[in-house]
Structure 1
Amino acid sequence: MADADVRSARSGDVDELARIHRDTWRTAYTDLLPDDVLVALDATPTLSLAVESGQLLVATEGRWLVGYCLAGGATEADTADVSGTPHEDAATTAIVTVLVEPRWGRRGHGSRLLDTAARQLVEAGATRGIAWIPESDRATRNFFERHEWTPDGTVRTLDAGGRPVREIRVSRGLTPLSDA
């Protein structure tokens, strides 16, 4: 494998990361999301804000950007239980999203992203991480479960262009993978 690394995202990375997001979602979620939702995907504003706030990491292989991890403080709504009550550690809970372009998958990029994010989040005072995953996305669920992120019983249903999408929440106490 060529040199693989994880670094903080730069503003010049946003267009390529938005393409990775769009192309990966259009491949992975073609049966889950309506065509008009997939066609309209544009993660550029979210990724730009994440770069500005320092919450976006990128995985590289050689000169290529191959994926990203968006990690930062979770909202109370994201940490809430089924009754809507925020979890007792809501203030120190981080939400994490990891995405690696499929052609670069199974090469350790996702694990490096998750480990680096966990280290940074712990240094910033986070104690727990959560991630929301479409229930039917077995690949992403398997990835998180391999790293001991487990479903905590919380689900939500989102409206994706008139089509309900059920998501599960996985969580784990935050320690870097290499320390676990």
Structure 2
Amino acid sequence: MSASQPVPDAAVRTARVADAAAVGAVQSTVWRAAYVDLLPAEAIDGFDAAMFTEVWTRSLQEPPTPQHRLLVATRGEDVVGLVAVGPTEETGRGEVLVLCVLPDERRTGHGSRLLNAAVDTLRANDFREVETWVPATDESARRFLEGAGLHADGAWRDRSVSDDGRTLREVRLLASITDE
């Protein structure tokens, strides 16, 4: 890159209510692409940016718990990714609830920055472990997360994805996030 070209402004910050529409658009775009071959059409149709915007607006205004956080990755002023974290029922364990980056922004460090910020946020809330659930067939997400130090622990669940009883198998990935 020559000295005359601007350096991309990439960062992660805590989301604000004003970010809800951008976050909703990112999640809708990412989920529609990621789940197109995994979920029935009616589920994909439900991944509407306006619906996600409404959910994120409410969540940002009144988080489910004090430990729930939404962080966004930015390129300049644009929101290009997000990660949401919160507690699990297991004492000392936090969860990455959602992690997504726009397809055109992948492989530029946003996912790693988001995951690192998520872990830092969980540590700051005294969590010692992190977990996340991914579709069993999503090899790309598993490779990324395993490369970051998470590992499958053998747990799985079948999530209902349609009114006619279809399910999506997910596997759990875990990691210790203590400094020890």
TM-score range, shorter chain: 0.7 to 0.9
Quote the Cα distance in structure 2 between the aligned partners of 1:155 and 1:49.
30
Quote the Cα distance in structure 2 between the aligned partners of 1:164 and 1:118.
29
Task: Give matches, 1:43-58, under 5 Å.
Answer: 43-52=52-61, 53=63, 55-58=69-72
Task: Give matches, 1:14-53, under 5 Å.
Answer: 14-41=20-47, 42-52=51-61, 53=63
Q: What residue identity is the alignment partner of 2:93?
A: T
Matched with 2:14 is 8
SS in 2 for 1:32: coil
Quote the Cα distance in structure 2 between the aligned partners of 1:153 and 1:49.
34
Quote the Cα distance in structure 2 between the aligned partners of 1:56 and 1:50.
9
Quote the Cα distance in structure 2 between the aligned partners of 1:106 and 1:117.
18
SS in 1 for 2:42: helix
Quote the Cα distance in structure 2 between the aligned partners of 1:134 and 1:16.
25
Retained in 2: the 8 A contact 1:154–1:168? yes
Runs of 4+ in structure 1 over 6 Å off: none
Q: What residue identity is the alignment partner of 1:91?
A: T
Question: Which of the residues 146, 155, 163 maps onto 2:166?
Answer: 163
Identical aligned residues as a percent: 34
Alpha-carbon spacing, 1:138–1:49, altered in 2? closer, same or farther (3 Å): farther
Retained in 2: the 8 A contact 1:5–1:61? yes
The structural deviation recorded for 1:45 is 4.3
Quote the Cα distance in structure 2 between the aligned partners of 1:145 and 1:152.
12
Alpha-carbon spacing, 1:105–1:94, altered in 2? closer, same or farther (3 Å): same
Task: Give matches, 1:26-175, under 5 Å.
Answer: 26-41=32-47, 42-52=51-61, 53=63, 55-74=69-88, 76=89, 90-96=90-96, 97-161=98-162, 162-175=165-178
CA RMSD of aligned residues (A): 1.7
Normalization by structure 2: what TM-score? 0.84
Quote the Cα distance in structure 1 between the aligned partners of 2:92 and 2:40.
35
Quote the Cα distance in structure 2 between the aligned partners of 1:137 and 1:3.
30
Considering only CA atoms, is the larger Rg found in Structure 1 or Structure 2?
Answer: 2
Report which stretch shifted further, 146-155 or 12-21.
Answer: 12-21
Q: Which runs of 5 or more structure 2 residues have no equivalent in the other structure?
A: 1-6
Matched with 1:87 is none
Quote the Cα distance in structure 1 between the aligned partners of 2:78 and 2:58.
22
Retained in 2: the 8 A contact 1:50–1:70? no
Q: Which runs of 5 or more structure 1 residues have no equivalent in the other structure?
A: 77-89
Normalization by structure 1: what TM-score? 0.84
